[in-house]
Amino acid sequence: MSEQLATPCKKFGHTGGRYKGGRCKECKRLWNKKWYKLNPEKKKAADRARYKLNPEKRRAAGRAWSKRNPDKARECEQRKRAKQRGYPTPTRPMPESCELCSGPPNGRYGSLHLDHDHRTGKFRGWLCSRCNVSLGGLGDSVEGLNKAIGYLTRVENYGTLPETMAKAKGD
């Protein structure tokens, strides 16, 4: 048995393990990968059948994968949630920083949010939690932003009290 494991396969010279019938495990893995690419529908059907046989085992395997790959699992979950809520598909990959303030991702999950136009449903960009909430609070409009700019300008020029603003306007 140990001689069989040490003997390289005749096709590619793999020295890895072998199945009971003597077939090289690495060659079988490569063959499966090629077959999956050529037969995606058959692969999906086989996966569904295997899942139906033992759904709890498949769910447990999925949970174990999520624990081993928390970042990928969170990304998959976010994509799934976005699709369920009818969010648009992003037209560019997620950057490292917010496209509005150039700051790092913040908020509960530490990732950027997909920003979209609520009227048209089109993707606009990637925002940090703070910028996303701020734009939403201003009505996602230029008009809302202009009102905020006007407010900040008045407060900066005349102080914070309404009486001071009224006096300044009256003078």
Domain boundaries, the chain: 1-56, 86-139, 141-171
Distances (CA, A) of 30 to 5, 26, 40, 79: 18, 6, 15, 30
User: Selecting from 3.90.550.10, 3.40.1800.10, 3.40.1390.40, 3.40.50.720, what CATH number does the domain 86-139 have?
Assistant: 3.40.1800.10
pLDDT tens digits, 47-82: 999 899 999 999 999 999 999 999 888 888 877 887
What pTM does this model have? 0.48
More confident residue, 159 or 161: 159
Q: Give residue for tokens 């140990």.
A: 2
Looking at residue 166, its pLDDT comes to 57
Q: Give residue for tokens 């939690």.
A: 129
Looking at residue 52, its pLDDT comes to 93
Provide the CB-side half-sphere exposure for 122 (13 A, CA).
Answer: 2
Q: What does the radius of gyration of the chain's CA atoms come to, in whole angstroms?
A: 29
pLDDT tens digits, 2-44: 444 456 777 777 777 888 777 888 888 888 999 999 999 999 9
d(CA 26, CA 10): 12
Tell me: pLDDT of 83 over 90.
no
d(CA 112, CA 72): 15
Looking at residue 6, its pLDDT comes to 54
Looking at residue 5, its pLDDT comes to 45
d(CA 54, CA 58): 7
Q: What is the DSSP string of 23-62?
A: -BHHHHHHHHHHHHHH-HHHHHHHHHHHHHH-HHHHHHHH
pLDDT tens digits, 115-146: 888 788 888 899 998 898 888 888 888 899 99
